[in-house]
Structure 1
């Protein structure tokens, strides 16, 4: 009950964020989200603790409780959304990897969604490359669920920002390994990612991805690509820099940016170059000079295999291109010519702009060989010309094209004209005016050629040019043609497709406005020029007002790529526009007179609502609406003068404020640079410290292992020493027992020896005693001479018995009188053997006592032997 009564809300927020109770942390995370959402600005104090300690938010997003974790990631999204770019820069390096590893594997769909949203904000507030670099290593993780979640996040990033914002090079390189993953979910998610990339990149992705995939996977992807073919993906999220650029640019520059974005991603940027110059065989040039066409064919076939790579590294190919050009121009075998043209094509595609320096070598030979009527040869030559053109521009090919359009061979003229058509469809920028004139004059001349294919090709050239420059601009070139030829050109014009965009017009177009307009508005010169020169002068050089640039572009270019001319404005429409413009301007003047602090918005509203100056001057329209304005009165004149002074004052204030902000921004940028350098230095120092720490840790671990090994060896030595000491004590005790036994009489020892018993047996036999008497006699003797204490010490008796057995000989040799003489030596040997046994048992400490004992035993044996000899003599 006591725990339930505790009010954790009274604790500071910093303590509740790290509290051990998950419900307390959950409430703290929700309160963080509320604070961030209701913050006044990016500099609000609620952001400061977590900017100073980014590691604190790492604990939030990796919370062990799933409910608290979701709330923590939600607070991170609010933190990034309202905290500005500084939050991204401070937290990105610490949070991206842990956030992905913990959030993308969550069982809660909300956690996954919020994790992806947070990653989106990390990209949006700065650049995508650091985030992608943090996510790519996770693709090698052993946990399939984490890999699947990471691929899903990457797919959503590409889908939102597009490949024009996110560079897919490193991602595409990692995809073949993902397609070979053992988990089916990883492979399925990777296929979805490939489809998204195809929508943005087109067939470019096939060039890089398909060579590393299995045929079955290629077939499945082809089917998936076919389902989305022709779709036009749109970028749904924009970087902060893109958003600011879109807000601060005119429609003209916005259209230019859009045109730049429409360019497809170059697939060659995704692959690595290959050095093919070192792979060319040494005998290639010798084989190409051979008189046998089969050897030349083998040589060009081998070369085609070598140069057939997506990207070729730069090298010196002068000799190779000259050899191929000579083969194309003069070889009699069309198979060799076709393969040589194929080699030129793949080299031009592999070297791209690097092949431009070889254009003058191969282009004339390709044009000249267009006389071949065989379709396979002409197609190979045309493909080689197209690939060579893509490495240069139209200006480089103008001279050769114009020359071969005048060729006497109809096949050459037709193929050259078709080549020009393909060039005009491929280029993205308008040709120069003199180039258009040369193309049109040459094509008009071919319209009267005797060969129908040549006339059709010339008409297609003219129709394509008309599609680019418009019908009005094309009129001087085709005005003198008959209706049949004009109709033929019109048909090709309707079906032609070009990529070139109209040239952008500049701001000085406003200078073409009629002078009468300025005279009519002489009483309000500052307001009359709000859409013209005065407005353009207030902006940066090179920019154009939106309405003016749009109208001017239509008037000068004849309606852009559509080729339609602008229709004149009727007088009724002009009068209605003038009336609406007058009322609008009158309202603006009145409002500005009462509110002098906000006169500037009148310029864009005036230009966009009616185009009073810009659109009228570009159209050369009627000025009656402006002439009848109430602004011509003296009252309006005074208002205009006041407003002009206010405008000037506010303009100066704005310029001053702009300079202040620019100076502050420069200071901020300098501080950011300094902090960046300091951060890099600290990271470097941290890495060095970490490296030294790792080395010290490794060395400490090695020393600990050595100490443990030495301790184990010392322990074993102690155990062995204790065992040895116990053995020594035992042996010493045995030696002491032996010493105590030696103090006893030697007779029991002698009777214990089997040699004494044998001697007694020999003696009894010599005395004529029967066997039963001998047995009873020996038993009585043994009982009489063996002490009781010696019977109890059986161990010592057995030890001495074994010693005597190993050291003495059997006494059976003494059966005769002659052998008794050698008993002394045998006794001595037994004594020596006994001494040696004692030495091995007791060691050096008891060596002296052992020898003394052996000497006593020897003396006893000798005495017994002498006694036995004496008894023999008496008998």
Structure 2
């Protein structure tokens, strides 16, 4: 140990000491690295190069096995990032973030954890937070609880220092339910800390995303924790390198820290709804049974009731919902259909605007319902549809339905208009305000009290937006009672609209621009040339010009006293005035301005005009009259040009309004055509299904016919076999050929006497019985009656009787006549059956 203490490692190069097998050598190297980094002259200093050129070397440093050396190594990394800047961050981040977090955040030493978090914050500050967060999130699935808790703590520090404006909280919010379900209490505690920190920045949108996935006990605890920090306004403590200049320029007051609120819509993933809709949805929606329609809209509502919906083709679905809302007689189905529209509009947001014509007028028309729950569902659906569009898009339909003959519809449409005016963020155009006020004034004269109250609310809300003075023309003709109603609504109304930004001022004509040369201080004795130059400018007098004009009369009087009699000042002024009056009148205001300026600049002052003993030029009365005439002509020209511009603007506005109406008409036609196309597609699909069914039916018939033909051929084959066997029997006993016609009993007796005939007859009868029974069963296609008849005809009893009669005829010639008679009857029956089978085959 003494040898280790006395050994000097300073002679070893720094990069070799950093990976030395002795931990003290490595510790010494890390401390020296920290000193060199802190003393570096710039970010490109040579002390950084060995470590930035080989990031794997620093990976070994931040994963040192010795706890003391590990803390020193992470401290050197913090110094490297602090003084090495963005270049060091970009070179080391991809290699070091994961091993640094896994080793440093799981350490038992508080200093090591603190330095690790500081290094991670520098990785965020010098470039971007997304790569660091993406590297840390997979570590939350590690099996080591203390590493998961440390990583959660690091994420909380990143949010605390940089805020949700810089760090996207979507990925962090998604993993919070998993942390709350962890078995380790320290991990759950860190998850609570992250949720509270996010609530400071995001407020209520976090609740709607996070709380539904937690247990009731955890929800209650989080609600209490959120209440404790409610109203806290967090501030960003550290800024990215790209934000540093902006952060220095911002003031320290709270107004500079105002950010746009975080929307929960941006924190969730879109869900594909169209792929999950049941195949029989449209069939059930067209059913005559209200329960089937109710089941269909219930299934759709369960699918669409999500925070964010992926954009797809909802044209046919919204068309069916709109038709259901306006025509369905069951209010329960209507209410759920309205809830479906609300969910689709909230989930699609601005993507739902193209489906607005399919449902909006249906919702307004159905507002005649008196049941409170249905009215509430319709109102929520209208509000959601309005959020996806603009005020101008819905105003036309509102103004149309506000004239409805049903007082209930008028009241609900007016209340919807009030909600639109209170939530819109920009004050509507002047023409739209005029239409709204005129419609609301009409409602004030309605016979129904709720309608009058709704009209007063509309006027009061508009007054809150544009002010009492601008509202005077619209309420000036109302009586005192109605004015009082409007004033009460005005006091209670709250609006969010702000006036549109004023357009940049139109530049004044060239004649009204002041002279580019700065006007100097007033002189006691201005020259005549300066007076001539300032006269036609047409600018309002400033303080300097007014003082100059006040000093001019005194100098003029002084010069007139010094001037010799018979001076030419008055005559020259008269000549100039008359020459100006004789000029032709310009054809346009702009030409008048140009000609006047040219005349003023091209007419030089007469030499020697108004010169006294001192040789100072004196102003003449003619020059002042000339300036007055020029000013009047300039003003007239400007007024003419202004009126012409106003007229052009009105023409453009009228043409724009016409084009807008044409566009709206084309959009309506497009919606109708889309609806017609959808109906044609449905009809085409139905025709295809009918054709498919017909084809299948024809194929079934053909299959049945082919099977029947094959059975017929089999029966024919069996008949021919029977005939051949009969011929064989006759050929075996020639005596049967001649005697069979006269005495069939004798024919059978003689044929049966031979041994071969006895064997054949027995086999033939059995086989014939089986084949005839099967053939008759197949030909009749399973007919019960035919099967019964066949089985009775070819029963084993009759066969055995025939065999007994034949055998008895062959064994004993002296049997009774009754036995031969039975044998003859069996033979005749067999022949009759064969003939009957042939006849049936011929008929078929």
The interval holding the TM-score normalised by the smaller chain is 0.5 to 0.7
Cα 1:170–1:287 change in 2 (3 A) is: same
- 2:415 is aligned with 1:418: yes
Q: Matches of 2:251 and 2:431 in 1, distance apart?
A: 31
Cα 1:490–1:279 change in 2 (3 A) is: same
Q: Matches of 1:232 and 1:518 in 2, distance apart?
A: 52
Given that 2:129 and 2:167 are in contact with CA atoms closer than 8 Å, whether structure 1 keeps it comes out as yes
1:525-674 equivalent positions in 2, closer than 5 A: none
Cα 1:517–1:449 change in 2 (3 A) is: farther
- 2:217 is aligned with 1:216: yes
Cα 1:77–1:503 change in 2 (3 A) is: farther
1:714-863 equivalent positions in 2, closer than 5 A: none
Query: 2:76 maps to which residue?
Result: 75
**How far did 1:168 drift?**
2.5
Aligned residues: 520
Q: Matches of 2:306 and 2:99 in 1, distance apart?
A: 40
1:773-796, Cα deviation, whole Å (9 max, x unpaired): xxxxxxxxxxxxxxxxxxxxxxxx
Q: Matches of 1:495 and 1:9 in 2, distance apart?
A: 80
Query: 1:769 maps to which residue?
Result: none
Q: Matches of 1:355 and 1:274 in 2, distance apart?
A: 15
Query: 1:87 maps to which residue?
Result: 88
**How far did 1:480 drift?**
5.7
1:479-523, Cα deviation, whole Å (9 max, x unpaired): 6656765665555555544444444457759989x9999899634
Given that 2:209 and 2:267 are in contact with CA atoms closer than 8 Å, whether structure 1 keeps it comes out as no
1:340-372, Cα deviation, whole Å (9 max, x unpaired): 211211222233333222211111010111122
Query: 1:64 maps to which residue?
Result: 65
Q: Matches of 2:461 and 2:36 in 1, distance apart?
A: 62
**How far did 1:210 drift?**
4.0
- 2:102 is aligned with 1:101: yes
Aligned with 2:260 (options 259, 262, 283): 262
Q: Secondary structure at the match of 1:77?
A: helix
**How far did 1:379 drift?**
0.3
- 2:171 is aligned with 1:170: yes
1:252-275, Cα deviation, whole Å (9 max, x unpaired): xx99x977x414234255224123
Q: Matches of 2:270 and 2:519 in 1, distance apart?
A: 66
**How far did 1:380 drift?**
0.3
Query: 1:545 maps to which residue?
Result: none
- TM-score, normalisation: structure 1: 0.53
**How far did 1:399 drift?**
0.9
Q: Matches of 1:417 and 1:82 in 2, distance apart?
A: 65
1:382-393 equivalent positions in 2, closer than 5 A: 382-393=379-390
Query: 2:271 maps to which residue?
Result: 273
Query: 1:357 maps to which residue?
Result: 354
Query: 1:200 maps to which residue?
Result: 201
- 2:454 is aligned with 1:457: yes
Given that 1:181 and 1:187 are in contact with CA atoms closer than 8 Å, whether structure 2 keeps it comes out as yes
Query: 2:122 maps to which residue?
Result: 121
Unaligned stretches of 5+ residues in structure 2: 522-844
Q: Matches of 1:443 and 1:407 in 2, distance apart?
A: 13
Given that 1:467 and 1:496 are in contact with CA atoms closer than 8 Å, whether structure 2 keeps it comes out as yes
**How far did 1:101 drift?**
0.9
Structure 1 vs Structure 2 CA RMSD: 3.8
Q: Secondary structure at the match of 1:76?
A: helix
Query: 2:329 maps to which residue?
Result: 332
Q: Matches of 1:71 and 1:28 in 2, distance apart?
A: 9
Aligned with 2:340 (options 331, 338, 343): 343
Q: Secondary structure at the match of 1:167?
A: coil
**How far did 1:124 drift?**
1.9
Query: 1:645 maps to which residue?
Result: none
Q: Matches of 1:352 and 1:206 in 2, distance apart?
A: 20
Given that 2:24 and 2:69 are in contact with CA atoms closer than 8 Å, whether structure 1 keeps it comes out as yes
1:531-560, Cα deviation, whole Å (9 max, x unpaired): xxxxxxxxxxxxxxxxxxxxxxxxxxxxxx
Q: Matches of 1:500 and 1:467 in 2, distance apart?
A: 10
Given that 1:466 and 1:474 are in contact with CA atoms closer than 8 Å, whether structure 2 keeps it comes out as yes
Cα 1:244–1:293 change in 2 (3 A) is: same
Q: Secondary structure at the match of 1:366?
A: helix
Given that 2:202 and 2:261 are in contact with CA atoms closer than 8 Å, whether structure 1 keeps it comes out as no
Cα 1:319–1:19 change in 2 (3 A) is: closer
Cα 1:414–1:40 change in 2 (3 A) is: farther
Given that 2:401 and 2:413 are in contact with CA atoms closer than 8 Å, whether structure 1 keeps it comes out as yes
Query: 1:317 maps to which residue?
Result: 314
Q: Matches of 1:41 and 1:518 in 2, distance apart?
A: 53
Cα 1:70–1:443 change in 2 (3 A) is: farther
Q: Secondary structure at the match of 1:142?
A: coil
Query: 1:147 maps to which residue?
Result: 148
Cα 1:109–1:488 change in 2 (3 A) is: farther
1:209-233, Cα deviation, whole Å (9 max, x unpaired): 3444333333433443344444444
1:455-494 equivalent positions in 2, closer than 5 A: 455-470=452-467, 474=471, 477-478=474-475, 489=486, 492-493=489-490
Q: Secondary structure at the match of 1:58?
A: helix
Q: Matches of 1:233 and 1:385 in 2, distance apart?
A: 36
Given that 2:402 and 2:410 are in contact with CA atoms closer than 8 Å, whether structure 1 keeps it comes out as yes
Q: Matches of 1:230 and 1:136 in 2, distance apart?
A: 29
**How far did 1:22 drift?**
4.2
1:742-799, Cα deviation, whole Å (9 max, x unpaired): xxxxxxxxxxxxxxxxxxxxxxxxxxxxxxxxxxxxxxxxxxxxxxxxxxxxxxxxxx
Q: Matches of 1:103 and 1:492 in 2, distance apart?
A: 63
Given that 1:293 and 1:333 are in contact with CA atoms closer than 8 Å, whether structure 2 keeps it comes out as yes
Cα 1:247–1:233 change in 2 (3 A) is: closer
Q: Matches of 2:200 and 2:326 in 1, distance apart?
A: 42
**How far did 1:129 drift?**
1.5
Given that 1:208 and 1:271 are in contact with CA atoms closer than 8 Å, whether structure 2 keeps it comes out as no
1:707-759, Cα deviation, whole Å (9 max, x unpaired): xxxxxxxxxxxxxxxxxxxxxxxxxxxxxxxxxxxxxxxxxxxxxxxxxxxxx
**How far did 1:80 drift?**
2.1
**How far did 1:389 drift?**
1.6
Q: Matches of 1:376 and 1:125 in 2, distance apart?
A: 56
**How far did 1:130 drift?**
0.9
Q: Secondary structure at the match of 2:164?
A: coil
Q: Matches of 1:90 and 1:41 in 2, distance apart?
A: 17
**How far did 1:115 drift?**
1.7
- 2:374 is aligned with 1:377: yes
1:310-341, Cα deviation, whole Å (9 max, x unpaired): 33344433333222212211223222221221
Cα 1:490–1:435 change in 2 (3 A) is: same
Given that 1:205 and 1:267 are in contact with CA atoms closer than 8 Å, whether structure 2 keeps it comes out as no
**How far did 1:53 drift?**
1.9
Q: Matches of 2:320 and 2:517 in 1, distance apart?
A: 73
Query: 1:839 maps to which residue?
Result: none
1:182-233, Cα deviation, whole Å (9 max, x unpaired): 2122122212222333333344334443444333333433443344444444
